[in-house]
Structure 1
Amino acid sequence: EWVKIAVNHIITNFYDGLTFDFESPLSVNDPRNDAYVMLVKETNKALKDIDEGFQISVCASWGPGLPLGIDGRAYDYKALADASDYLYVMQYDTRSQIFYDCTAAPNCPLSISKLGIEQYLALGIAPEKIIMGVPWYGYSYGCVDEGGGELLKCSEENNQIQTCHLKLVPFRGVECSDAAGSQIGYENIQKIINSSPDMHGYNITTDVRVGYYQKTKHFNYCYSPSNGPYPHVRQLWYDDPESLTAKSLYAKEKNLGGVGPYRFDYVHPGTDLGDALFETLRVFKEVNGYSRVAVQK
């Protein structure tokens, strides 16, 4: 019944397909894993019976992380890939569960991106079925004292900190997570970098630094909210054209099906900032002669 309703909705609204984005935790032996695969398979068949041009994709965590699964999502990824046209690998929010130092760090550095893709390929998933999802946004974290309590007040000393300790915000049984921060789109990140001290309450306090992870950038800034806590130090980690190009080149090297950002609306096409990010997708297209671009959610 669900499949019939979904197919009718797709046809009625002239969509070209459907993306499954189920992210609840399931253990390896949970029978709902088989049910999920069957749902994807039946939906794909129903659409293909109408028109071979319809497309089904399935969102997957940045890496399989089996047998426990990333965030407890121990899905049958090989079967999901076989049942669909594409596996959209969401290579962002990799710090949803932080098991080591509770400090600010990159959203998804190239090394972690490679690790996730290699793990999917090791499952026997065809590379052309994998779409590498990349972040067109970064994370801004409020820095707290090492005891994890109070936000650091803006001061000459605090503004220059290298390590930004985070407030403990649990996620699925782990006490530290990227939920301590907030997502900021690439275009708005550049507004912060280029703002004057009194614009939007931002005041950059360090130069943009290349982090200890490959090509990933970060900087500190003093944030003076119009309503809320006192002016405090924040650290912002983000991807930019350099790091995104490196990921597109890696996707090309592994013969993946494409590269797709989360999200397109974090920049405006036709602007310098927008064109710079879209160019990172063309890198993949120019080398491979084609490009599949997918959007999560």
Structure 2
Amino acid sequence: MRWRLESVLTLVINTLWMQNIVTDKDVCKCKNQTLCKPISSSPRVQVEVFAFHLEPKDWAQYHWSKITTIVVSGAVEDEFYCIAHSYNIRLVLKSEIETHHMKNKQMEEFWLSTTVELVRTYKLDGIFINFRNKLNKESQNYHELTRMVIKSASYFRNKLPGCQISFNVPWTPNCKNERCFDFLPISHVFDLFFVESFNIYNDMREGCVATSSSPYQDVLTGLSDYIKLGIDSRKLVMGVPWYGYDYTCKRFPQGGACELENTSDCSYPLGERIPYKTIVQRLPRSLTGRLWNDDRSVPYFVYMDGKTYHQVWYDDPESISIKTTLLKRHKLGGIGVMELNDVDHSRTARATLHAEEMWNALCPP
């Protein structure tokens, strides 16, 4: 009874919220009124550059000409919207499926209709569906999720003709970390699978030792396993991190091995997630300078904070460029950035240089 009451309250609150945003966002604010028309998901010749814009910072300096799709969490600034559409960039809404949506028909229908209304209200070009809950093949929710996402894709295409529909999937289809979906039938109804080729070791500790969250060999294996399932490689977008992890070491990392302080539990998160713009600020003050790990094809460095040693593992232009070679080799649909605001897009000379290098790594000549 309590759950039903909470669900009804949620429906009422969301309905009132929807009524407000429809009133606020109903008029096109672009000088060129045609820019407010949704961009069709018709096939493009170029590789997708799929990016996440979840915080309103420094967006004016994005390399707009290199982006094809931007995931947003809701309304964006009018100028941002108009610039994106002037570059023929699709803006797609990030929408979360929760477990209770699958178990309650009323909640499911409300999620579907609300998502469509948001896309229409904000004049967006598609939907990016995310499901974060743990799932295994033995769970009833395993089949319920398959049913719901297939239904959702059909519903969205009917209500929003020409929209792009994408789905977030883990780095591997092999049911690691209790994130197991019925990938092949789901792939048939989506335009793109955004593959999280990062945070790979969040729940896969190697003896509580700091390591990369996006090692090249694991990225390659995960993508290859999707293709082996029969999934069209052109639907796969390889996600790369524009961030790293800062680990606290028990002692100076001899031989490069940073043994973590919390060796009794090692529960996630093992390190602090830090954006690339913070990493490039800490690197010049490090004890080691930039080091390279050949096994994982990523950089790292060691620094001290007071009397405490820290090791930072991250991706930079070199490691991303190595991953980018997989696009042509496996005929992938594109590459994705998590996320745009992790790089400094301000107008300083140093920031401009670092941003240019990261963008060029995504889109090599």
TM-score range, shorter chain: 0.7 to 0.9
Cα deviation for residue 37 of structure 1 reads 2.1
Cα deviation for residue 167 of structure 1 reads 2.9
CA contact 2:212–2:296 (8 Å) conserved in 1 = no
Q: Which residue of 2 aligns with 1:218?
A: 300
Cα deviation for residue 166 of structure 1 reads 1.1
- Pick from 88, 94, 103: which aligns with 2:194? 88
Q: Distance in 2 between matches of 1:178 and 1:248?
A: 28
Q: Does 1:282 align with 2:363?
A: yes
Q: Which residue of 2 aligns with 1:155?
A: none
Q: Distance in 1 between matches of 2:263 and 2:342?
A: 26
The C-alpha deviation readout for 1:193-222, integer Å capped at 9, x for no partner, is: 13xxxxxxxx41112111142431111000
Q: Which residue of 1 aligns with 2:311?
A: 235
> Over aligned residue pairs, what C-alpha RMSD do you find?
2.0
Q: Does 1:256 align with 2:332?
A: yes
Q: Which residue of 2 aligns with 1:193?
A: 283
The C-alpha deviation readout for 1:2-52, integer Å capped at 9, x for no partner, is: 212211121112221111221212221322222222222222222222443
Q: Which residue of 1 aligns with 2:353?
A: 272
Q: Any stretches of 5+ residues in structure 2 without a counterpart?
A: 1-108
Per residue, is there more helix in 1 or in 2? 2
CA contact 1:93–1:178 (8 Å) conserved in 2 = no
Q: Does 1:143 align with 2:252?
A: no
Q: Which residue of 1 aligns with 2:163?
A: 54
| SS of the residue 2:188 aligns to | helix
CA contact 1:241–1:277 (8 Å) conserved in 2 = yes
Q: Distance in 2 between matches of 1:169 and 1:36?
A: 36
Q: Distance in 2 between matches of 1:139 and 1:8?
A: 37
Cα deviation for residue 178 of structure 1 reads 5.2
Q: Distance in 1 between matches of 2:262 and 2:204?
A: 10
The C-alpha deviation readout for 1:93-112, integer Å capped at 9, x for no partner, is: 11111343210111111101
Q: Distance in 2 between matches of 1:142 and 1:264?
A: 26
TM-score by length of 1: 0.79
Equivalent residues, number: 251
Q: Which residue of 1 aligns with 2:210?
A: 104
CA contact 1:106–1:213 (8 Å) conserved in 2 = no
The amino acid that maps onto 1:193 is L
Q: Distance in 2 between matches of 1:168 and 1:20?
A: 34
TM-score by length of 2: 0.65
Q: 1:102 to 1:47 in 2, by over 3 A?
A: same
- Pick from 134, 147, 168: which aligns with 2:240? 134
Q: 1:218 to 1:80 in 2, by over 3 A?
A: same
| SS of the residue 2:180 aligns to | coil
Q: Which residue of 2 aligns with 1:245?
A: 321
The C-alpha deviation readout for 1:40-74, integer Å capped at 9, x for no partner, is: 22222222224432111111111112xxx121112
CA contact 2:253–2:259 (8 Å) conserved in 1 = no
The amino acid that maps onto 2:135 is L
Q: Which residue of 2 aligns with 1:77?
A: 183
Q: Any stretches of 5+ residues in structure 1 without a counterpart?
A: 145-151, 153-157, 195-202, 225-230, 287-297
